[in-house]
Amino acid sequence: MTKLRSHLMKSLALALLLLPGISLASSEGGAMESAQIDLTDKAALQRGASLYMNYCSSCHSLSYQRYSRMGEDLGLTKEQVEQNLIFTDAKIGETIDTGMDAANATAWLGKAPPDLSVVARTKAEGADWIYNYLKSFYVDESRPMGWNNTVFPGASMPHVLWEMQGMQHPVLEPKRKGANGEEEACHAGEVGGQCIKGFVIPDAQKGSMDAEQYDRVARDLSTFLAYVGEPSAVKRESMGVWVVLFLAFLTFLAYLLKVEYWRDVH
């Protein structure tokens, strides 16, 4: 009897663990800050889509994603998508391509901007990587575009959101010495042999937003790109809770059945 019960509990625990979209333990992202994205947050997804179309789509394509599908998933009408989110001559049924020519982009930036359809999935840290990347641009005159990034050192992408965030400058500290007297590697990039320990934004170079507002911009964009990387995740996450309730209900039924069967045996 107790054996059966513990078996049932184990099955339920296993079923819960195997449920897609529900992670019981969140992974530690190293030095990265968690983006705390919520794929069921339609408003965040809509803001992210709008930010993406305004600030990113001129360089990056999302060639696995159609405008129409995006509209459906984000709860937008065909008209809303056409009026607010399509900036090229694309039709609603087409994929989200950039207006920029790859050869021109390479000539200008030194590198063609990659397609971002699955970028949130190709990074080990997922959407957190994008969130941290968007927050880690800093002024570096030695770079062709005048920008560098601690999450992606030497990136050839300029900081396209600088008017919102402002212009970050690195705060430096000498490299630490380890127990054996050797210099340790820096956590987040280095400039002139010193480690970057943080950023400051001089008053004259403040952006239109404060840090909290800009965090939300970075989070909305990360949420949107996480969705684009796995469009079905939006539906799955909202289904997850029903699946758990359903399983709990099934377990309860199984338990009642068991009680019923064993009644005669005893």
Among 5, 78, 91, 111, contact with ligand HEC (rule: CB under 6 A): 111
Q: Report the interhelical angle of 42-55 vs 67-74 (nearest 10°).
A: 150
The number of residues in the chain equals: 266
DSSP 178-201: -TTSPBPPPSS-EETTEEEEEEE-
Tell me, residue by residue from 46 to 85, as one string, x for binding to ligand HEC by CB under 6 A and - for no binding. ---------xx-xxx-------------------------
Cβ 111 to ligand HEC shortest distance, Å? 5
Cβ 157 to ligand HEC shortest distance, Å? 3
Please state, in angstroms and rounded to a whole number, the distance separating the CA atoms of residues 69 and 72: 5
Task: Work out whether 159 is an interface residue with ligand HEC (CB under 6 A).
Answer: no
Please state, in angstroms and rounded to a whole number, the distance separating the CA atoms of residues 8 and 257: 12
- Please give the single-letter amino acid code of residue 249: F
Task: Work out whether 157 is an interface residue with ligand HEC (CB under 6 A).
Answer: yes
169 by DSSP, 3-state: which? strand
Please state, in angstroms and rounded to a whole number, the distance separating the CA atoms of residues 164 and 206: 8
Among 39, 49, 53, 155, contact with ligand HEC (rule: CB under 6 A): 155
DSSP 7-48: HHHHHHHHHHHH-TT--SSPPP-TTPPP----TT-HHHHHHH
Tell me, residue by residue from 118 to 147, as one string, x for binding to ligand HEC by CB under 6 A and - for no binding. -x----------x--x--------------
Task: Work out whether 161 is an interface residue with ligand HEC (CB under 6 A).
Answer: yes
Number of neighbours of residue 228 by Cβ within 10 angstroms: 25
Distance of CA 54 to the CA centre of its chain: 18
Among 29, 158, 207, 240, contact with ligand HEC (rule: CB under 6 A): 158
CA dist list (Å): 146 to 30, 31, 37, 164: 28, 25, 30, 17
Which window, 111-119, 192-200, 206-214, 253-261, contacts ligand HEC (CB under 6 A)?
111-119
Residue closest to ligand HEC, measured at CB: 56
Q: Which is nearer to ligand HEC, 45 or 59 (CB)?
A: 59
Number of residues engaging ligand HEC in binding (CB under 6 A): 20
Cβ 133 to ligand HEC shortest distance, Å? 6
Cβ 77 to ligand HEC shortest distance, Å? 25
Residue pair 56/213 in contact by the 8 Å Cβ criterion: no
Residues forming the site for ligand HEC (CB under 6 A): 55-56, 58-60, 109, 111, 113-114, 116, 119, 130, 133, 155-158, 160-161, 221
